[in-house]
Amino acid sequence: MFKKKYRIPYNLPVEFSSYEKVIAVFLVVIIPPLVLSDAYVEYIAKQTMVNYSKIVLQVVLYIALIATTLLKLYQIKRNNLKPRQLYRILKLIDIFLISLLFSTLKYGMFFCFIAFVPIVSICITEGFRASMLYVLYAMVIQFLSTLLIPDIIGTEATLIKNLNFSRELFIITLYLVFIVLLKILAMHNDLHTLRELDNQKLLSELRREYEQLEQARNERHEQFEKLKEVNFQLEDMNKKLTASLAEFFTLQQISQSISSIFDMNELLQFVNDIIIGVMGVATSNIALYNSEGNRLKVQVTNINNARERALLTDNINSTALKECLDRGMTIIDNSVDPDKYPFTKGRNVRSLICVPLQVKSNGYGLILLEHNIPNAFDEDSVRLLEVITQHISIAIENAKLYEKLQEYANTDGLTQVYNRVFFQNRLREELNCAKQQGYEVSIIFFDIDDFKAYNDTYGHLFGDMILQAIALTVKESVRKDDVVARFGGEEFVILLPYTGKEMAYEKAEELRRKISELVICDKDNNVARAVSVSMGVSTFPTLAKNETELLNSADEALYIAKERGKNCVALAQPCTTEPWFKGV
């Protein structure tokens, strides 16, 4: 009935250990009195002499039983209270020894039920079915003992003889009774086990509910503490916001204004004017790091006196200000010592504040405010300037990022020279200025001779190396105001402001010669080839009257150079035909 609803978990560790200890004590204690009583009854009834061989056998069997019991308990302890194969073997030995021991007694058949005692723990821990194997084993041992030691056993008991019962029938009847008792015990143990499981389940649920309640209580307590902390923070923030409402309104206006300016010079000048107006200082100066990032340079200042400006510019990299930048800390000094700040000597500076310009770990420079009265600045001044500086630092970073973005947008990714779109916009602007101011503008069109052959022979990666090497050579050989651009594929163009056709032709020839002297190797130095270019030169307004004619005539001159055998320069002729090239 129970096994249909539940699977009974036998071999519970705690009960298993307890049962074995009780059975071991029972066997060790009960056997000696039974053996002695049997010997006494036999001696009184028969007045026979003591059978020493029989006593020796009984002692040996008893000692063997104790040894197996101790070994069994040791195995149970070592195996964490779980039955193992050796344990079952020792159980079988126990049954054998007990059956054999009581078979040596005169009236041992009345005590053969003692052999059932080890089976009780099997029934409890492993179930009724498992115990039946041991019962069958005990029965077989009981009958075999009659055949093995018949002389020691003696004749049947008088009581059984009078009742016309054989010894075997008596033992079988006793075993059947014991089997019934085992079944009853197994059912009772199942009920007990189920109750224990229910109790354990209930206890586990109660423990889990208690833990959940405890966790919920802790969470509520933590939430309450957090709410208290947040409430204190909100109150503190509310006080600060109330006290600084006007100040933050000013900062908001500053932030909105500077966030829309991306030109660095315009941004710094605007910021400097704002600081002078908000802080009411005598001088305001902004210094930024140079391109190498190791020296400060004054970018904006409201100092008009040339001597004072030069004094500030020459000493802006003083030790005190560098310390401010290195530590990322604000300096406030309301009693300026000129020896400590060399840039203040002879300038009547009595108070100053220096705040570093930085975003996270990126330092850009500093803002230096000066006043000609002592004790001009306080902690509120420092706090306000630090907040303004944070906005300015972000604006400077945005301006630098915008400049980089513009540079990336106008630059060819492979050769790092300007791209075609930037060149044509720049050419259009330069021609408009040339028309207004009356100067000449020249361009040089050139492309790489037999470039496809290089790609087909050595691969496109080697072709890219050729493009990069030529672009770098040209960039390093032109003036600062000249514009080098990649026009498309292997075609390049150079814009030369304030340059006539003769000077442009000479420049083209110089560049052609430098390029022809280049030796370009791959990364493994396995391939080395000299390259050459063909160039076409045209000039506005001498050879072309507008942008389209200028580009068209330079391109035609390039093809003339190709027809002449490549690796040469051709000068364009005045354009007299309808141009095929349409500008963007």
What domains appear along the chain, each with residue ranges and CATH number?
2-205 (no CATH), 254-408 (3.30.450.40), 411-571 (3.30.70.270)
- Return the top range by mean pLDDT from 2-11, 232-241, 307-316: 307-316
| Residue, of 22 and 19, whose pLDDT is higher | 22
**What's residue 155's pLDDT?**
40
Q: For residues 415, 421, 422 and 427, what is the CA-based torsion angle, rounded to 10 degrees?
A: 120
If pLDDT is split at 50, 70 and 90, which confidence band does 434 have? very high
Average confidence (pLDDT) over 388-413 = 75
**What's residue 227's pLDDT?**
87
The answer to whether 350 and 368 are in contact (CB under 8 A) is no
**What's residue 581's pLDDT?**
40
**What's residue 12's pLDDT?**
44
pLDDT over 80 at 178, yes or no? no
**Nearest alpha carbon to residue 442 among 527, 364, 501:** 501
76-94: pLDDT as tens digits: 777 654 555 777 777 778 7
Q: What is the mean pLDDT of the chain?
A: 78
Average confidence (pLDDT) over 478-495 = 91
| Residue, of 53 and 443, whose pLDDT is higher | 443
pLDDT over 80 at 450, yes or no? yes
Average confidence (pLDDT) over 160-172 = 58
pLDDT over 90 at 124, yes or no? no
Average confidence (pLDDT) over 549-559 = 92
Q: Give the residue numbers annotated as catalytic, written as ranges.
A: 490
How far is C-alpha 351 from the geometric centre of its chain's CA atoms? 49
**What's residue 405's pLDDT?**
74
Q: Tell me the sheet residues that pair with 536.
A: 445, 570
**What's residue 559's pLDDT?**
93
pLDDT over 70 at 129, yes or no? yes
Q: Which long-range contacts (CB under 8 A, 24 or more apart) does 117-123 make?
A: 117/23, 117/26, 117/27, 118/23, 118/27, 118/91, 118/94, 119/95, 119/182, 120/19, 120/23, 120/182, 120/185, 121/16, 121/19, 121/20, 121/23, 122/91, 123/182, 123/185, 123/186, 123/189
274-300: pLDDT as tens digits: 788 777 888 999 888 887 777 888 888
**What's residue 111's pLDDT?**
66
If pLDDT is split at 50, 70 and 90, which confidence band does 225 have? confident
Average confidence (pLDDT) over 115-143 = 75
Average confidence (pLDDT) over 525-546 = 84
**What's residue 79's pLDDT?**
61
- Return the top range by mean pLDDT from 91-95, 318-322, 368-372, 516-520: 368-372
